[in-house]
Chain A
Amino acid sequence: MTVNTTVDTLRFATAGSVDDGKSTLVGRLLHDSKSVLADQLEAVERASASRGQEGPDLALLTDGLRAEREQGITIDVAYRYFATAKRRFILADTPGHVQYTRNMVTGASTAELTIILVDARNGVVEQTRRHAAIAALLRVPHVVLAVNKMDLVGYEEKEFQRIVEDFAGDAAELGLPSFTPIPVSALVGDNVVDRSTSMDWYEGPALLEFLENVPVGVEATDAPARFPVQYVIRDGEVRHYAGQLVSGALRVGDRVTVHPSGETSEITGIDVLGTPAEVAYAPQSIGVRLADQRDVSRGDMITAGVDVPALTRDVRAAVCHLADRPLRVGDRVLVRHTTRTVKAIVQELGGAAELGANDLGRVVLRTAEPLALDDYAVSRRTGAFILIDPADGATLTAGMVEL
Chain B
Amino acid sequence: MSATPTERTFALSHLDALESEAVHIFREVAGEFERPVILFSGGKDSIVMLHLALKAFAPVAIPFSLLHVDTGHNFPEVLDYRDRTVARHGLRLHVASVQDYIDRGVLRERPDGTRNPLQTLPLTEKIQSEKFDAVFGGGRRDEEKARAKERVFSLRDEFSQWDPRRQRPELWNLYNGRHAPGEHVRVFPLSNWTELDVWQYIARERIELPEIYYAHQREVFRRGGMWLTAGEWGGPKGAETVEKRQVRYRTVGDMSCTGAVDSDADTIEKVIAEIAASRLTERGATRADDKMSEAAMEDRKREGYF
Mark A residues whose CB is within 8 Å of B. Answer: 1-3, 5-9, 37-40, 43, 47, 62, 64-67, 69, 75-81, 83, 88, 90, 102-103, 105-106, 109-110, 217-222, 230-231, 233-235, 242-244, 249, 271-275, 277, 281-285, 298, 322, 336, 338-339, 380-381, 384-386, 388, 392-395, 398
Is A298 a contact partner of B284 (Cβ separation < 8 A)? Answer: no
Given contacts A231-B30, A271-B58, A393-B179, contact A381 B172 (CB under 8 A): yes
What is the CB-to-nearest-CB distance from B150 to chain A, in angstroms, rounded to a whole number? 9
Known: A39-B281, A298-B31. 4 other contacts (CB 8 A): A1-B196, A79-B148, A218-B10, A392-B180
**CB-CB under 8 A for A106 and B171, given A6-B2, A47-B294:** yes
Which B1-57 residues sit within 8 Å CB-CB of chain A? 1-2, 5, 7-17, 19-21, 23-24, 27-28, 30-31, 55-57
Give the contacting residue for B280; candidates A2, A37, A244, A336; CB below 8 A: A37
Report yes or no: B2 in contact with A81, Cβ–Cβ below 8 A.
no
Of all chain A residues, the one with the shortest Cβ separation from B9 is: A218
Contacts of A78 in B (CB 8 A): 145, 148-149
Q: Which residue of B lies closest to A385 (CB)?
A: B174
Name which residue of chain A comes closest to B269, CB basis. A3
Q: Please give me the residue from chain B that is nearest to A50 by CB atom.
A: B294
A106–B170 touching, CB < 8 Å? yes
B278 contacts the other chain (CB 8 A): yes
B161 within 8 A of A: no
From A5, A222, A233, A398, B60 is in contact (CB under 8 Å) with: A233
Query: Judging by beta carbons under 8 Å apart, are B200 and A218 in contact?
Result: no
**B146, A65: Cβ atoms under 8 Å?**
yes
| Alpha-carbon distance A2/B58, docked complex (angstroms) | 33
Inter-subunit contact A273/B171 (CB<8 Å): no
Is A230 within 8 A of B20, CB to CB?
no
Query: Does B141 sit within 8 A of A, measured CB to CB?
Result: yes
- Please give the distance in Å from B266's CB to the nearest CB on chain A: 18
Q: What are 14 pairs between A and B in contact, CB < 8 Å?
A: A1-B196, A5-B2, A47-B294, A81-B194, A230-B24, A230-B27, A242-B57, A244-B20, A274-B58, A274-B59, A285-B23, A380-B172, A388-B176, A392-B180
Complex contact B10–A282 (CB within 8 A): yes
> Does B231 touch A at the CB level, under 8 Å?
no
Docked pose: A336 CA to B174 CA in angstroms? 7
With A3-B196, A243-B27 as contacts: A283 and B17 at CB distance below 8 Å: yes
| B24-A65 in contact (CB<8A) | no
CA distance A222 to B8 in the complex (A): 7
- Whole-angstrom distance from the CB of A91 to the nearest CB of chain B? 10
Distance (Å) between the CB of B217 and the closest chain A CB?
Answer: 26
**1/0 contact trace for B151-179 toward A, CB 8 Å?**
00001000000001101111111101011
Question: In the bound complex, do residue A105 and residue B169 qualify as a contact, i.e. CB atoms below 8 Å apart?
Answer: yes
Contact of A386 among B28, B176, B204, B278 (CB under 8 A): B176
Report, nearest first, the 8 A-B pairs whose CB atoms are least far apart: A393-B178, A39-B284, A64-B145, A274-B58, A285-B23, A281-B10, A109-B171, A230-B27
Q: Which single member of A7, A90, A242, A394 contacts B27 (CB below 8 Å)?
A: A242
Complex: how many Å from CA A347 to CA B31?
A: 30
Cβ 8 A contact of B8, one of A9, A65, A220: A220
The interface residues of chain A lying within 8 Å CB-to-CB of B102 are: none
How many whole Å from B257's CB to the nearest CB in chain A? Answer: 16
Contacts of B278 in A (CB 8 A): 37
Q: How far is the CB of B51 from chain A (nearest CB, A)?
A: 11
Asked if A285 contacts B24 (CB within 8 A), the reply is yes
* A39 surroundings in chain B (CB, below 8 A): 280-281, 284-285
B104, CB-defined interface residue at 8 Å: no
- Answer whether residue B207 sits at the interface, using C-beta atoms and an 8 A cutoff: no
Q: Determine if B169 and A322 form an interchain contact, defined as CB atoms under 8 angstroms apart.
A: yes
User: Is the CB of B124 closer than 8 A to any CB of chain A?
Assistant: no
State which of B9, B56, B148, B164 has its C-beta within 8 Å of the C-beta of A273.
B56
Beta-carbon contact of B141 and A76 below 8 Å: no
Chain B: minimal CB distance from A58 (Å): 13
Complex Cα–Cα for A40 and B20 (A): 30
Asked if B11 and A384 sit within 8 Å, CB to CB, the answer is: no
For the complex, give the distance between the alpha carbons of A90 and B146 in Å: 16
Say yes or no: B9 contacts A221, CB within 8 Å: yes
Among B58, B149, B169, which residue has the most Cβ atoms of chain A within 10 A?
Answer: B169
A66 with B295: CB separation less than 8 A: yes
Docked Cα-Cα span, A1 to B277, in Å, equals 7
The answer for the CA separation of A5 and B16 in the assembled complex, in Å, is 10
A74 to B249, CA, bound (A): 34
Q: Is the CB of A81 within 8 A of B10?
A: no
- Chain B: minimal CB distance from A326 (Å): 16
Q: State in angstroms the CA–CA spacing of A272 and B12 once bound together.
A: 13
Structural contact, A394 and B59, CB atoms closer than 8 A:
no
State A271–B56 Cα separation when bound (angstroms): 10
Q: Which residues of B contact A40 (CB under 8 A)?
A: 281, 284
- What are the interface flags for B190-207 relative to A under an 8 Å C-beta threshold, 1 for contact and 0 otherwise? 011010100010001000
Are B20 and A285 neighbours in the complex by a CB distance under 8 Å? yes
User: Contact: B10 with A37, CB < 8 Å?
Assistant: no
Contacts of A75 in B (CB 8 A): 164-165
A residues less than 8 Å from B196 (CB atoms):
1, 3, 83
Contact B60 A235 (CB under 8 A): yes
A275 to B55, CA, bound (A): 10
Q: Which residues of B contact A394 (CB under 8 A)?
A: 168
In the complex, are the beta carbons of A395 and B176 less than 8 A apart? yes
Which one of A9, A105, A231, A283 lies within 8 Å of B14 (CB-CB)? A9
What is the bound-complex CA distance between A388 and B32, given in angstroms? Answer: 15
**Assembly CA distance A234 to B57 (angstroms):** 10
Per the bound structure, the CA–CA distance linking A103 and B19 in Å amounts to 26
- A221 and B169: CB pair below 8 A? no
Expressed in whole angstroms, the Cα–Cα distance for A384 and B173 within the complex equals 10
- Taking A65-B298, A336-B174, A392-B180 as contacts, is the C-beta distance between A103 and B169 under 8 angstroms? yes
What's the Cα separation between A275 and B142 when bound, in Å?
A: 30
Specify the chain B residue showing the minimal Cβ separation from A102: B169
Q: Is the CB of B11 within 8 A of A217?
A: yes
Q: How far is the CA of A87 from the CA of B179 in the complex (A)?
A: 38
Q: Is A37's CB under 8 angstroms from B279's CB?
A: yes
Give the distance in Å from the alpha carbon of A1 to the alpha carbon of B60 in the complex. 39
B180 touching A393, Cβ below 8 Å: yes
State in angstroms the CA–CA spacing of A66 and B294 once bound together.
Answer: 8
A222 and B194 CA atoms in complex are apart in Å by 32
Beta-carbon nearest neighbor of B299 in chain A: A66
B69 to chain A, nearest CB (A): 24
